[in-house]
Amino acid sequence: TKIHRTSVVEAVKYYGVSPLATSASFGDLSVRVNDYKAPLVPATQAESAMLDLQAGGFRSVTLSGGARSVSISQVSYTSSYAIEDTNRQYNYVFQLIPKPAPGTLEISYRSRDKWHTIYDEAGDGSLTGDGSGNVNYDTGSVNVTVQDLPDINTAIMLGWGTDTLYQVGDQADVDLPSYSYTVAKPPIQPGSITITYNADGAQRTIMDSTTPGELSGDGSGFVDYGAGQVVFTPSYLPDPAETPQITYSGVVTPAQEVFSNVPAPNEEATITLTDQPEAEGVRIKYTVAAATDNQSTPGFKVVCQGVVVPSGAGPVRMPNGSMLEVVALSSGAFRLGLTSAPDGSLPFGSIDFANKTITLPTEINYYAQHSVYEVKCRSQWNGLDGFTTTCGEEFDHYEWDSTTSHSYAGGGTVTINVDYRPVGMSYSQQTEAMPAENLLVRLAPSTNAAVVPGSVQFSLAGHTFVDNEGEIHMDPDPGTGVGTVVGSIDYSSGDATLSAWVGGSFSFSLDSLLLEITPRLDSALSFRTVAAPVRPASFTIAVTAADGELLTGTANLDGDIEGAGMEGSIEVQTGVVSVRFGEYRVASELTDEEKQGWFRQEDVLPDGTVWVPRLVVPNTARYNVVVYVYMPLSADILGLDPVRLPQDGRVPIFRTGDVVVIHHTQTTTISTPTNGQVIDTGRVRLSYAKLYDANGDPVPTDRYTVDLDAGTVTLTDVSGLTAPLTLEDRIEDMALVSDLQINGTLTLTRPLSHDYPTGSYVSSAYIVGDMFARVTNIFDQATWTGEWSDDRIGSEAGGTYNDTLYPLEVTNKGTIQERWAIIFTSSTAFKLVGEFSGQIALGDINTDFAPMNPETQVPYFTIRADGWGSGWSTGNVLRFNTIAANHPVWVARTVLQGEAQSGSDQFRIQIRGDVNTP
C-alpha cells in the first residue's frame, strides 16, 4: 500500500484593496489592514456538528481478554507555545516531559490561516511533514524547522504519547461488597456479637461465637473489639435500604488516659496505666514524625508484620489478630492506631499486663508518597492582542518512594492516648441499628494502579454492572452500552459504590478489569479541535474526575469556558483550547490535608484566593463542537469552476514579496473660486491633485496649476466654471511587503513618509514588467489557406521581405495584439488581413505601407518599400504577429449574498509606470 501526499500550490495570484484597520504614522514600518483576504466568489456558509470527539487523542490501544474486547483511547501529553512578535521564527527547540515514545509525536502550527503538521512517522527520531527536525527519545529534546513562519497570535501545539504498562485485574484481588460499622460502646466483649439482616425474603444471622475476631454464619468478616468496628460481607444481598441490627456487649464508660511528652530514648516509649487492662480491646493512638526529604508528603504506607498498611485505609487486621490504622496528619507526620488482639498482642510493641506497662516503638518502617511537579505553560487568548502565556512548575501527580524510611519521636518525646477496659469492669448488652449503606466493591485494594475507564464489568447476583464515565450502570443495553445508573466509581482508588441493586444470592464474578500501572492524571489540557473556525458558544467539554465525578463546561460568546470545577478558553478562529480543572478557594481556609502535594504560597492571589487543582482522567475527556463549513455555489452560476479555490471563496490579496501602495484621498470644497486663489491641501508631497466642477466633470488642467511638493493648487482661469469646485488630492507610499500576519499586519521594507488617518487604504500592485510593442514570427508561404498558424503551411513564396535591413516599425501607441497576413492580389499589390481585425487596408510593394490605427491615429506598423524583393505572385502570403505594449487584466467584481442595497459603488484601477517610452 502506498500513500501519496500532495502539496497545494497557488495557481493564480490575486490583487485588491483593503482599508487600514488602524491609522499609521510617519516612520512606521508596518501597517494593518482590515483583512488580507477578499471574497472572489460567493460561498454558502453551513454548520457541521461534531459530537463526542476525543480531546487531544491521537492513538488508541485495543486489548482483548476472554469474551470481552475493550478499545481504550489514549490522550496525548500536550503542550502549547504561544507565537508573538518576539518569537516568530523558523526554528524552535522544546523539552518534552515525560519523554515521548517513538512514533507518537505530532507538532501542529498555523501559517497563512491554515494548520500544518509535523510527525515522527518513521519512529527513528526524524521529523517529516510540513517541516523537518529531530526528536531524541532518550532525553525528550526536540528541534523543529517549520516550512512557513507561524502566524502571530496563534500557538504551536505539541502532542505525544509514552510507553504505558497495563495489568489485567484478578478476581482474587477484589474486595467483595461489605458493610463497615463502629458501635457506640466499645470495646466489645468477644463472642457477644449477633448481626441480623433481611435478604431474599428471610432473616439472616452473622455471629462471632465460633472464632474470636471472626464473623461467620450468613456472611463473613472480622471484628476490631477494641475500636468496636465490625466489617462483614453478607452471603445474601440485603434488600436495598436494609438496616441490619447488631446486638453486642459493650462498655458504657471505658478507662481513658493521656500521656503527654513521654520520653523516647532509643526510639522507644514506655507508659504505666492506672489500672490493669483486660487483654482484648486495648486501643492506643500516638503520632510519630516522618524522616523524609520531600516535605509535600500526602500519604504513607507502614510496614508491619510483613503487611503494608496504607494511610486512609482504615483499621487493617494483622496476622497476630491485632488491628493497625495509619492516618496521615500533615507533611512529615502520621498517627498510628493500635488495637490489641484477644490474647493482648499488638501490631507494634507490647503490653505487660501484670505491671500495667505498655512499650511502643517510635522508629517505624514506612514508604512515603510525594508530589511531582512539572513545568507547564498556559496560554490565554486575548483576541487581536494575542496570547498571554505564563509558565511555571505545577503539581502533576504523586509517586511512592522506592525504599523505606524510618519514623522517629519528634522532639524526642511522644504523646500517647490509651482506651481500655480495666480488669473487673463488666459489659452491658447493647442493640443498635446499622444505617442503610451503599455496597462498596474495592476493585484494586492492594495496588497503586488506577482503573482504566471503560474496562470494568462484573456480575453480582446474576446482574451485569459496567462503568460509563464515572457511573456504574446495571444490565446495560448491548447496543448502546447504557443501563440503569446504580452507582459511581473512583478510578484512582478503584472503589465502585453501588446505591441500588437487586437482592438475591450473593454471587460475584469479575468479567473484565484493566489497571494502568503508571496511571496518568492531569489537572489541565490543551489541544485543538479537529476543524476550525468554530461557531461561537458551541463548544462543550466533559471529563471524568479521578474520584468519578463528571465535570462539564461550555464556552460563551467570548470564548471563555465556564463550568463547575473548570475554567479555560477556546479561540474560535483556530480551534485552540486550553482548560484547567479545579476551583478558586480562600487559601487561609484550606487545611493541611487539603494543601498536600500542590500548595505554594507564591501562587496565592492578592485577594487571598488560590487555584486548587483537581485531577481528572484525561482519557475520558471528550468535546462537542459546531464548526463552519463553506460550500461554493454552482459553477454555472459563478461562471468559473471553484474547485481549486478556497472553500470559503476568499483569496489572499496581499502576500510576502508583493508591492503595495498605501494611500489616502481627501476632497476640499471651493465654494467661491477666484482667479489667483491658492488652495492649500494641508499636506505636502502629494502624488495626485485634480479639480472637478459642480457636475463632477474634470476641470481642464490649463485652468489651474499644481505644486505637488508644496501641496497647493493655484486657480488661473475660473471663467465659465460651475461652482462649487471640488479639489481631490492624494498622498501615498509604495513599498515592498517583507512579512504578512493573519491579523492583517503588513511589514514594509521602508518607513512611511506620511501620516495616514482612518479612511486610508492599502492596494496591492500587480507588477507587469517592461511592456513594449514588437513584431515576431515573420515568414512567407506560397498560398493562403485561411488557417492562422504560427508555422508555415506548404512551400515558401517566390518573393521575400528583408526584415534584417528593413525591420517592421512599431510604436507602443499604435500597435495592437494581432496576427497579420499580407495576401498578394497581383505581383505588386496586396491586402492586409488581421485574425480579429479582418481586412483593414490595401497596399503595394512600391510604397511604404503604414495602416492607421483609428483609435490612436498612429499606424499599427510601418513596412518600408525598400524591404520588398521581387518574385511575388498572386496568392503569396507574408505572415507576422504584432505584440502590443499592453497587458490583459482579469477583473472580478464579487457580489455577496444579502439584502439589496440602495446607492452605488465604484472602484478605480490605476495604471502607473516608472519609465515613459514612445
> Per residue in 25-49, pLDDT tens?
999 999 999 999 888 877 777 788 9
pLDDT of residue 57: 58
Looking at the structure, tell me whether residues 647 and 751 fall in a common domain. yes
- Residue count of the chain, please give it: 918
User: Is the Cβ–Cβ distance between 605 and 34 less than 8 Å?
Assistant: no
579 class by beta-carbon count within 10 Å (0-12 exposed, 13-18 middle, 19+ buried): buried
CA distance 482 to 349: 53
User: Is the Cβ–Cβ distance between 829 and 842 less than 8 Å?
Assistant: yes
CA distance 679 to 727: 9
Q: What is the mean pLDDT of residues 869-876?
A: 94
Q: Identify whether 475 is part of a domain.
A: yes
pTM of the complete model = 0.55
> Per residue in 546-591, pLDDT tens?
888 889 999 999 999 999 999 999 988 888 888 989 999 999 998 8
User: Is the Cβ–Cβ distance between 762 and 746 less than 8 Å?
Assistant: yes
Looking at the structure, tell me whether residues 595 and 689 fall in a common domain. no
Name residue 483's amino acid.
G
63 pLDDT band, cuts 50/70/90, is very low
CA torsion angle 585 587 589 591 (round to 10): 110
685 pLDDT band, cuts 50/70/90, is very high
CA distance 741 to 745: 5
User: Is the Cβ–Cβ distance between 179 and 241 less than 8 Å?
Assistant: no
The single residue listed with the C-alpha cell 483556530 is: 574
Q: What is the mean pLDDT of residues 367-390?
A: 56
380 pLDDT band, cuts 50/70/90, is very low
536 pLDDT band, cuts 50/70/90, is very high
User: Is the Cβ–Cβ distance between 647 and 36 less than 8 Å?
Assistant: no
Looking at the structure, tell me whether residues 349 and 417 fall in a common domain. yes
Q: Identify whether 824 is part of a domain.
A: yes
By 3-state DSSP, what share of the chain in percent is helix, strand and coil, each rounded to 5? 5, 50, 50
321 pLDDT band, cuts 50/70/90, is confident
Looking at the structure, tell me whether residues 207 and 334 fall in a common domain. no
DSSP state of 102: T
The single residue listed with the C-alpha cell 504513607 is: 300
Looking at the structure, tell me whether residues 644 and 613 fall in a common domain. no
Is the confidence at residue 383, as pLDDT, over 50? no
pLDDT of residue 914: 65
pLDDT of residue 402: 79
Domain boundary among 597, 626, 655: 626
Domain hosting 453: range is: 443-508
Give the per-residue SS3 of 712-759.
Answer: EEEECCCCCCCCCEEEEEEEEEEEEEEEECCCCEEEECCCCCCCECCC
Q: Identify whether 659 is part of a domain.
A: yes
Neighbours of 416 (CB within 10 A): 20
The helix/strand/coil state of 541 is strand
CA distance 656 to 13: 12
By C-alpha distance, which of 616, 543, 628, 380 is closest to 54? 543
CA torsion angle 401 404 408 410 (round to 10): 0
Is the confidence at residue 54, as pLDDT, over 90? no
CA distance 172 to 110: 52
pLDDT of residue 820: 97
Q: Identify whether 57 is part of a domain.
A: no
Is the confidence at residue 741, as pLDDT, over 70? yes
Omega before residue 724 within 30° of 0, cis:
yes
Q: What is the mean pLDDT of residues 271-293?
A: 88
Selected residue with higher pLDDT from 398 and 752: 752
Is the confidence at residue 285, as pLDDT, over 70? yes
Looking at the structure, tell me whether residues 601 and 645 fall in a common domain. no
CA distance 466 to 461: 14
pLDDT of residue 645: 74
By C-alpha distance, which of 500, 488, 502, 501 is closest to 456? 488
By C-alpha distance, which of 128, 152, 133 is closest to 144? 133
pLDDT of residue 10: 63
Beta-carbon contacts of residue 138 (< 8 Å; ≥ 6 apart): 99
DSSP state of 451: E
User: Is the Cβ–Cβ distance between 264 and 361 less than 8 Å?
Assistant: no
CA torsion angle 679 681 685 688 (round to 10): -80
Most confident of 107-121, 395-409, 644-658, 682-696: 682-696
Ramachandran angles phi, psi of 411, nearest 5°: 75, 10
453 pLDDT band, cuts 50/70/90, is confident
By C-alpha distance, which of 123, 428, 423 is closest to 247? 428
User: Is the Cβ–Cβ distance between 714 and 674 less than 8 Å?
Assistant: no
User: Is the Cβ–Cβ distance between 729 and 681 less than 8 Å?
Assistant: yes
Beta-carbon contacts of residue 479 (< 8 Å; ≥ 6 apart): none
Looking at the structure, tell me whether residues 241 and 267 fall in a common domain. no
Q: Identify whether 17 is part of a domain.
A: yes
DSSP state of 595: H
CA distance 55 to 378: 17
CATH at 128: 2.60.40
907 pLDDT band, cuts 50/70/90, is confident
User: Is the Cβ–Cβ distance between 470 and 530 less than 8 Å?
Assistant: no
Is the confidence at residue 269, as pLDDT, over 70? yes
Q: Identify whether 128 is part of a domain.
A: yes
User: Is the Cβ–Cβ distance between 450 and 491 less than 8 Å?
Assistant: yes
**Strands of 67-218, DSSP E:** 68-75, 77-82, 91-95, 106-111, 114-119, 126-129, 131-135, 141-146, 155-160, 166-168, 175-182, 194-199, 202-207, 214-217
Domain boundary among 91, 125, 160: 160
User: Is the Cβ–Cβ distance between 33 and 743 less than 8 Å?
Assistant: no
Looking at the structure, tell me whether residues 297 and 339 fall in a common domain. yes
817 class by beta-carbon count within 10 Å (0-12 exposed, 13-18 middle, 19+ buried): middle
| 180: β partners | 231
pLDDT of residue 397: 63
Selected residue with higher pLDDT from 278 and 212: 278
User: Is the Cβ–Cβ distance between 204 and 197 less than 8 Å?
Assistant: yes
Q: Using DSSP, how many helices (H) and how many strands (E) does the chain show? A: 2, 72
Half-sphere exposure of 125 (CA within 13 A, CB side): 11
User: Is the Cβ–Cβ distance between 715 and 679 less than 8 Å?
Assistant: yes
Q: Identify whether 480 is part of a domain.
A: yes
Domain boundary among 583, 599, 626: 626
User: Is the Cβ–Cβ distance between 625 and 529 less than 8 Å?
Assistant: yes
User: Which helix (H) or strand (E) element contains residue 19?
Assistant: strand 17-19
Q: What is the mean pLDDT of residues 803-811?
A: 95
Q: Any alpha helices (H) in 610-718, and if so which ranges?
A: 635-638
Looking at the structure, tell me whether residues 151 and 179 fall in a common domain. no
Computed over every residue of the chain, the mean pLDDT equals: 86
CA distance 132 to 144: 6
Beta-carbon contacts of residue 380 (< 8 Å; ≥ 6 apart): 387, 388, 389, 569, 578
CA distance 800 to 867: 9
799 pLDDT band, cuts 50/70/90, is very high
Looking at the structure, tell me whether residues 412 and 554 fall in a common domain. no
| 832: β partners | 822, 841
Is the confidence at residue 6, as pLDDT, over 80? no
For CA atoms 249, 252, 255, 256, the dihedral sign is positive
Q: Identify whether 292 is part of a domain.
A: yes
Q: What's the alpha-carbon Rg for the chain, to the nearest Å?
A: 45
What are 236's three cell numbers?
445474601
**Strands of 806-887, DSSP E:** 818-824, 829-834, 838-844, 852-853, 858-859, 877-883
| Number of separate domains in the chain | 7
Q: What is the mean pLDDT of residues 834-850?
A: 96
The helix/strand/coil state of 504 is strand
Looking at the structure, tell me whether residues 737 and 665 fall in a common domain. yes
CA distance 78 to 639: 46
DSSP state of 592: H
Looking at the structure, tell me whether residues 835 and 798 fall in a common domain. yes
By C-alpha distance, which of 314, 323, 303 is closest to 401? 303
